[in-house]
């Protein structure tokens, strides 16, 4: 792992070894996910160093691949999970079940069955609840262990309304009901913490709103007795700059503002970065297959699609792009899209890019978070392979799916 003093706060596409990327595309074919595990470890270590007195967990939902989870654990991290599958995959990667935290959001029965069974043998497991129904359902399963209460602070932040969870009624106990719920938990379970998550994709300019939500969490912790709590978890959501002209998150300022916002606490501060740890550690390589001159643009067709990376279609997200094969060519304004039969299958509209030709390899940056996690098989497209880079070596972390993989669950 690179010394943190030499590790840039954000990795741009220009920082990757382009010759190596083209070689990876040639060897493993496209579309191809590439994850730099050394960068994952650097990002986790940098974030943890900014909060030296806090407990920093990795939010697994950003990227649950085994290679990534193993890298986080190697860097000294613990893991926060949002579903039973993430719990199991974390354990398979080597996580100690007694150090896991499970944040239940409208949990299906199978999730609670799994968590209750796991806690029977590993009482250190913490379950975060966002509804009193979940308490009743846990009690029905004989669970009386560690509980954290998720607060709805009434303030949402983030890069898109679909990730501004702090003001969404789906998430957490309504703010003014928290004290009565805390009393109930203390009677029937072990209340160990409070939790909140305001939103995702927070950069430096978003910190004021983000910290207003954290202030409310700190106030509630003192109101219910923070000296009796083990931790106060203010969630994650810390972002990376997707656009080339956006500055990286100022971690020193973030740490200062978060500490000031939460205020004096007896309980330990917890944070859950996900995107920050993995976003710029991953990219997608895709091959150009079509060049079409249209009246208002040049259409560049590639073999990646919204089944490979759905964030632009789902959130209108911007992802940087680079012609890996010929970055020195004069740029043209291009509309880059995939083979899926919908107008939503476009990665960029009128984007300046070094003039592509058929057979060129393009890189789509900042694809390490919520990239492979949201990949799908629309149009019966098998999911891509994923290559992991670590200590100068490349290995297949996930093989490319085949059509047999896509259809193997079908019944005659």
pLDDT at 411: 81
Please tell me the predicted confidence (pLDDT) of residue 47: 97
The tens digit of pLDDT for each residue in 186-238 reads 999 999 999 998 777 888 888 888 899 899 999 999 999 999 999 999 999 99
- Of 8, 14, 28, 35, the closest CA to residue 324 belongs to 14
* Structure confidence at residue 195 (pLDDT): 96
Q: SS3 for 62? A: helix
Cα separation, 301 vs 297, whole angstroms: 12
pLDDT at 162 over 80: no
- At 157, the pLDDT band (50, 70, 90 cuts) reads low
pLDDT at 205: 86
What are the structural domains, with CATH classification, of the chain? Answer: 96-273 (3.20.20.10), 280-407 (2.40.37.10)
Please check the confidence at residue 334 and state whether its pLDDT lies above 60.
yes
Tell me what the mean pLDDT of segment 28-53 comes to: 97
Q: Can you tell me the mean pLDDT for 287-313?
A: 96
**Directed axis angle between helix 66-74 and helix 37-50, to 10°?**
40
Question: Whole-angstrom Cα distance, residue 317 to residue 306?
Answer: 12
Q: How far is CA 243 from CA 163, 182, 203, 311, 319, in A?
A: 19, 42, 12, 14, 7
- 211 belongs to the catalytic site: no
Cα–Cα distance, 171 to 168 (Å, whole number): 6
Q: Is the pLDDT of residue 166 over 70?
A: no
**Catalytic pick among 169, 294, 341, 409:** 341
Mean pLDDT of 244-264: 94
Which residues partner with 233 through β-bridges?
Answer: 195, 270
Does residue 117 surpass a pLDDT of 50?
yes
Between the CA of residue 380 and those of 147, 310, 406, what are the distances in Å?
Answer: 42, 15, 7
Per-residue pLDDT band for 2 (boundaries 50, 70, 90) equals low
Residue with tokens 């998720």: 150
Say how many CA atoms lie within 13 Å of 342 toward its Cβ. Answer: 12
pLDDT at 356: 97
Confidence of residue 1 (pLDDT cuts 50, 70, 90): low
For the cut 90, the answer to whether the pLDDT of residue 379 exceeds it is yes
Confidence tier at 6 by pLDDT (50, 70, 90):
confident
Helices (H) and strands (E) in the chain, counts: 12, 20
Instruction: Look up residue 32 and give its two tokens.
Output: 């191809």
For residue 387, give both structure tokens. 């290559």
Retrieve residue 139's tokens: 């009690």
85-109 pLDDT, tens per residue?
999 999 999 999 999 999 989 999 9
Looking at the predicted structure, is the pLDDT value of residue 158 above 70?
Answer: no
Instruction: Tell me the three-class secondary structure of 338-361, residue by residue.
Output: CCCCCCCCEEEEEEEEECCCCCCE
Instruction: Say whether 100 sits in a helix, a strand or coil.
Output: coil
**CA dist., res. 382 & res. 31, Å (int):** 10
Output the pLDDT for position 199. 76
DSSP single-letter state for residue 384: P
Cα–Cα nearest to 281, from 72, 48, 52, 22 = 72
Average pLDDT over residues 31-35: 98
Digit-coded pLDDT (tens) for 385-402: 999 999 999 999 999 999
Measure the CA–CA gap between 205 and 260, rounded to whole angstroms: 17
Task: Collect all residues with Cβ–Cβ distance below 8 Å to 215 and sequence separation of at least 6.
Answer: 261, 262, 263
What pLDDT does 243 receive? 95
Q: Which residues pair with 287 in a beta bridge?
A: 361
Distances (CA, A) of 21 to 29, 192, 292, 329, 401: 11, 46, 26, 18, 21
Q: pLDDT at position 200, please?
A: 73
Q: How far apart are CA 131 and CA 107, in angstroms?
A: 10
pLDDT value at residue 209 = 85
385 close to 29: Cβ distance less than 8 angstroms: yes
Q: The tokens 């983030």 sit on which residue?
A: 158
pLDDT band with cut points at 50, 70 and 90 for residue 159: very low
Q: What angle do CA 338, 343, 346 make, to 5 degrees?
A: 40
pLDDT in tens, 301-318: 999 999 999 999 999 999
DSSP state of 246: S
Lowest mean pLDDT among 32-36, 101-105, 143-147: 101-105
Mean pLDDT of the chain: 93
Please state, in angstroms and rounded to a whole number, the distance separating the CA atoms of residues 226 and 267: 6
- pLDDT computed for residue 164 by the predictor: 43
**For the CA atoms of the chain, what is the radius of gyration?**
22
Over range 254-258, report the average pLDDT. 95
The reported pLDDT for the residue numbered 168 is 59
């Amino acid at each position: 792992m690179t010394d943190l003093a030499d590790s840039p706060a954000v990795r741009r596409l220009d920082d990757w070894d382009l010759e190596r990327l083209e070689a990876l595309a040639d060897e493993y074919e496209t579309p191809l996910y590439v994850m730099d595990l050394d960068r994952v470890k650097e990002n986790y270590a940098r974030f943890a160093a900014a909060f030296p007195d806090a407990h920093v967990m990795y939010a697994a939902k950003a990227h649950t691949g085994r290679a990534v989870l193993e890298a986080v654990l190697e860097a000294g991290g613990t893991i926060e999970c949002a579903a039973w599958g993430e719990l199991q995959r974390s354990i398979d990667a080597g996580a100690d079940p007694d150090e896991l935290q499970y944040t239940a959001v409208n949990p299906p029965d199978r999730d609670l069955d799994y968590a209750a069974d796991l806690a029977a043998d590993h009482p250190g497991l913490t379950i975060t609840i966002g509804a009193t129904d979940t308490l009743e359902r846990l009690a029905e399963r004989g669970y009386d262990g560690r509980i954290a209460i998720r607060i709805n602070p009434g303030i949402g932040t983030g890069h898109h309304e679909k990730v501004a969870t702090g003001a969404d009624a789906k998430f957490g106990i309504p703010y003014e009901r928290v004290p009565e719920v805390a009393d109930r938990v203390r009677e029937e379970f072990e209340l160990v913490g409070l939790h909140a998550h305001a939103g995702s994709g927070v950069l430096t300019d978003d910190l004021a709103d983000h910290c207003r939500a954290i202030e409310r969490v700190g106030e509630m912790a003192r109101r219910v007795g923070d000296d009796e709590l083990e931790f106060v978890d203010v969630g994650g959501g810390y972002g990376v700059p997707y656009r080339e002209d956006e500055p990286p998150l100022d971690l020193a300022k973030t740490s200062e503002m978060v500490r000031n916002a939460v205020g004096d606490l007896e309980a330990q501060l917890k944070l859950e970065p996900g995107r920050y740890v993995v976003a710029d550690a991953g990219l997608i390589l895709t091959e150009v297959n079509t060049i079409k001159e249209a009246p208002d643009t040049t259409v560049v067709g590639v073999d990646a699609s919204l089944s490979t990376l759905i964030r632009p279609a789902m959130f209108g997200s911007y992802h940087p792009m680079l012609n890996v094969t010929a970055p020195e060519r004069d740029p043209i304004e291009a509309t880059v899209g995939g083979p899926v039969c919908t107008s939503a299958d476009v990665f960029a509209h009128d984007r300046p890019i070094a003039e592509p030709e058929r057979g060129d390899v393009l890189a789509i940056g900042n694809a390490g978070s919520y990239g492979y996690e949201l990949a799908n098989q629309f149009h019966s497209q098998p999911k891509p392979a994923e290559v992991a880079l670590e200590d100068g070596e490349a290995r297949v972390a996930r093989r490319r799916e085949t059509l047999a993989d896509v259809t193997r669950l079908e019944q005659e």
